[in-house]
Amino acid sequence: MDPRSREFKTKLDAHITDEERVRGPIDEGVYADEPDGTDPGEPGTEITRYADKAMFEAEEIADIMPQVTLLVATPDPLGAVAAMSMMYEGRVIRDLGVVTDEERIHYWSESFKTHLKAPWEAIDLHFLVEGVSRAFTHQMVRQRTAVFAQESMRFAVKEKIAARPGPIIASKRQTREAWEDAIENVWEIYNGLIGAGIPAEEARGLLPHDTLTRLHYKTNLRNLADHLGNRLCTQAQFEWRMVATALRQAIYAHGERYFSADDPSKTSNSNWQFRTLAGSSIFQPVCFSLGRCPFNADFDRGCTIRERVERGEFDLIEEAEWLADPKAGWVR
């Protein structure tokens, strides 16, 4: 028997009272005790740790900060926006090669001045997002204008601790240590359950919301911008701000990697376009584009920048106030 399974079997046995030992199964149906010989605490002699053949070991999450890779993107993003915008003026573009860089910049800049945001949907973005909590992915997949493929914790077994505390827990030694103790304890029991033949779909129930995971995220620029606007609001969970920063870096890195002007082997030098996207104002709370705060219901939270937003004093707002302060939604 796997030593971890043996150790865990001892722990499981400690939870069985003498009365239960004599009485046997205490309930009928799926929650009844297993018949003798199939007790999950007795995995037998077979040298396999996974009860369900569909289970596999999750690839380790090496970095506990969010990591984003832009896998695929529209290769001439601002050319596509320009071509669609030109249609509004009756100009027919059949080859992006005839669109000049001046036109790309012009229509990109004009697209911020109109409510007609359809041309932004011409820019497809397919990201891999890693090192994000299950709490975060639960929120992320609420976006209906994107498609996702998430690492399954029903089948992927988390062999190593992969979790990150929130920034406020992490900032104090006592709270961080208490969190670490609890995480280690939970992970030990999770691994023990897996070793004792419990399927991951049940064992995962013990793992915390802070468990780190990964997912593919395919959207387009219009819907990314809408989503970032809402989720970069100070009342959204702080992790979004870390992920937004990583998304931005990923767009930048994609241009460097595939479209660098300095690399003659690259087919096109649209690197500057990805820099433009990464540096654009879509990476800001929605109030910056609306010119007002759209979160004013009784059930909305407070915000340290709202009063200046309502006075139109955007120049007086430092980026760090909404991007780096996890308590920015605490005021009333």
Interface with ligand FAD, residue 230, by CB under 6 A = yes
Applying CB under 6 A, the site for ligand FAD has a residue count of 9
**Chosen residue from 48, 100, 145, 171 binding ligand FAD by CB under 6 A:** 145
Report the C-alpha dihedral over residues 296, 301, 304, 310, rounded to 10 degrees. 0
Q: Near ligand FAD by CB under 6 A, which window of 43-51, 136-144, 154-162, 312-320?
A: 136-144
Judge residue 7's burial from the number of C-beta atoms within 10 Å of its C-beta, 0-12 exposed, 13-18 middle, 19 or more buried.
middle
Q: Distances from the Cα of 298 to the Cαs of 137, 195, 295, in angstroms?
A: 27, 49, 9
- State in Å, rounded, how far the first CA of the chain is from the last one: 58
Number of residues assigned to the chain: 332
Residue 92: CB minimum distance to ligand FAD, A: 29
Q: Minimal CA–CA distance to 125: which of 214, 255, 224, 271?
A: 224
Give the position of tokens 């979004």.
240
| Torsion-angle region of 129 (φ positive above 0: left; ψ -120 to 50: alpha; else: beta) | beta
Q: What is the rounded distance in angstroms from the CA atom of residue 41 to the CA atom of residue 35? A: 12
Residue 313: CB minimum distance to ligand FAD, A: 23
Interface with ligand FAD, residue 287, by CB under 6 A = no
**Chosen residue from 203, 236, 244, 278 binding ligand FAD by CB under 6 A:** 236
Residue 58 or residue 221: which is nearer to ligand FAD going by CB?
A: 221
Give the position of tokens 């926006």.
81
Residue 82 or residue 236: which is nearer to ligand FAD going by CB?
A: 236
Q: Near ligand FAD by CB under 6 A, which window of 5-13, 72-80, 120-128, 231-239?
A: 231-239
Instruction: Give the containing element (helix H, strand E) for 130.
Output: strand 124-133
Measured at CB, which residue is nearest to ligand FAD? 144
Residue 78 or residue 233: which is nearer to ligand FAD going by CB?
A: 233
Which residue type, as a one-letter code, is found at position 247? L
Residue 254: CB minimum distance to ligand FAD, A: 23
Interface with ligand FAD, residue 244, by CB under 6 A = no
Q: Kindly list the residues in this chain that would bind ligand FAD in the complex (CB under 6 A).
A: 142-145, 230-231, 233, 235-236
